[in-house]
Amino acid sequence: MTDIDRRGQAYALLGAVQATVIATMTVVVLPLPAIGRELGLDPAGAALVGVAFALAFGVLLPVGGRLVDRYGARPPMVVGLAAFAGASITAALASGFATLAIARLAQGASAALIAPAALAAVRLLTARTAQPKLAAAWGGLSVLGAAAGALLPGLAGAAGDWVSWRWGFAPAVLVSAAALHLAPRLVSDPPRRALRAPPRRRPAGRGRAPAPVAYLADRRRVLGLLAIGLSATGAALAGLLLVAALPAERVAPAFLPGVAALVLAGRLARRPLARYGSPALLTAGLASGAAGLLLLSRVGPDTGYLTVVLPGLLLLGAGLALVFAAGTVLTLAGVPAHRSGLAGGALNGALALGVVTALAFAGGASGTAAATTGVGAAFALLAMLTPLAVPPRVRIARFDVALNHNPREVWRVLTRP
């Protein structure tokens, strides 16, 4: 196998792992009422089953990122995949609340090892000049995985009552098994001395900020994490609102145009991202998402699909694709290879926090509609603040030059062959 073939297979494997991990986080959202009826769950038990994965995932991601930065990508990924497969089988076979809740917590905990390891491994395979393109694609995989996890059980259920919610855990088991078989051959780490050697001792009196503090010192990363967390909150609230407002058999088909808009916008985002820069694309995505959320906040039992729901989903889907692409680029901006685990933990942690926040603030149709309106307004506010927080940039080839930079430097970059 050539290096190009191996790299292509590794990209496919790691992308499938990332999408599957995020999909498994949302796989119980639509079938949660059916799960509650089958297992006899009260509202509190159903809510815990809904948030258990994201809660464990978000809390333990800093630990997973630290382990990846210390030991490399492959060992944490192999351990995480084995635990993820076992927890997914347990969840699919659960006969009661305790078993399912513990399995969901175990899924989240093992995913906290897998997600930062996958990002660290894929960054290692990618040339530095192609890192922004990788970041945009990785953000698209995350949001696509979340949408697939939420919608596939609903589509299966619409096909017939014989399809159980338990089959929703099958992709997690299959992808984990395939990755466990292929990861030792396709995923490699650099020499530990090259990326994880202990830093030289600094002179007394010259302290260094802890890694998480130093990571968040860059306002581009803070902006990217805020946008991704807010987008995850808005997407989850919109989904919960439609679940409450529409008949169960119509929910998943109603979402399909929004998913199509998300996929198409994600594929088309790379060229404008390279031409106009991530802040401009983030502003456009936030504005589109705000319009979509404000439309969807009006959804009720008598709301017209073609006049409100469809345009709202199209605007939200396109906006989410742009926000996740540009936000991931900003989140990974300037992160060295030996801090990839930390960056992956922060990126996925923002996504998990958004899902937990949405589930915590949702409260019936009226409460969820009010929360959706509030998040839509926050989208609009962040869209206005983004150009102030991160100046517009001119992107030429692999350079990203601030417009308020030294004019001589700008001219040198613009005229460089």
pLDDT digits (tens, 9 = 90+) for 88-105: 999 999 999 999 999 999
Identity at 330, one-letter amino acid code: L
pLDDT at 206: 53
Residues in contact with 302: Cβ distance below 8 Å, sequence separation at least 6, in sequence order = none
Residue 236 CB-half CA count within 13 A: 31
Cα–Cα distance, 144 to 207 (Å, whole number): 42
Q: Is residue 311 part of a domain?
A: no
Q: How buried is residue 212: exposed, middle or buried, by Cβ count under 10 Å (0-12/13-18/19+)? A: middle
For 116-145, how does the pLDDT look when each residue is reduced to its tens digit (9 = 90+)? Answer: 999 988 888 877 767 777 777 887 787 778
Q: How confident is the model at residue 403, as a pLDDT?
A: 40
Q: Which amino acid is located at 144 in the chain?
A: L
Which CATH number goes with the domain that contains 128?
1.20.1250.20
**Confidence tier at 174 by pLDDT (50, 70, 90):** very high
Rounded to the nearest 5°, which phi and psi values hold at 401? Answer: -115, 125
DSSP-derived secondary structure letter, 126? S
CA atoms within 13 A on the CB side of 250: 9
37 has pLDDT over 60: yes
Residues in CB range of 147: below 8 A, 6 or more apart: 235, 255, 258, 259, 262
With respect to residue 399, please indicate whether it lies within any of the assigned structural domains.
no
**Residue 42 falls within a domain, yes or no?**
yes
Q: Can you tell me which residue has the tokens 């504005």?
A: 287
pLDDT mean over 271-276: 83
Q: How far apart are CA 405 and CA 192, in angstroms?
A: 37
Question: Which pLDDT tens digit goes with each residue over 43-61?
Answer: 888 888 888 999 999 899 9
Q: Is 52 among the domain residues?
A: yes
Q: Among all chains, which residue has been given the structure tokens 């959320």?
A: 293
pLDDT value at 169 more than 50: yes
d(CA 125, CA 13): 12
Count up the domains in the chain and report the number: 1
Residue 202, in any domain of the structure = no
Q: Find the domain containing 70 and state its range.
A: 1-187
Question: Is pLDDT at 347 greater than 50 in this prediction?
Answer: yes
Q: Average of pLDDT values for 65-85?
A: 93
Q: What would the pLDDT profile of 282-292 be if each residue is shown by its tens digit?
A: 999 999 999 99
Question: Is residue 66 in a domain?
Answer: yes
Say how far apart CA 199 and CA 217 lie, in whole Å.
20
Helices (H) and strands (E) in the chain, counts: 17, 2
Q: How confident is the model at residue 81 (pLDDT cuts 50, 70, 90)?
A: very high
Rounded to whole angstroms, the Cα distance separating 150 from 144 reads 10
Contacts (Cβ under 8 Å, ≥6 apart) of 207 = none
What pTM value is reported for the model? 0.79
Any domain includes 322 = no
pLDDT at position 158 is: 54
User: What is the percent of the chain with per-residue pLDDT over 90, rounded to a whole number?
Assistant: 33
193 pLDDT band, cuts 50/70/90, is very low
In a domain, 143, yes or no: yes
What number is the average pLDDT over the span 20-40? Answer: 86
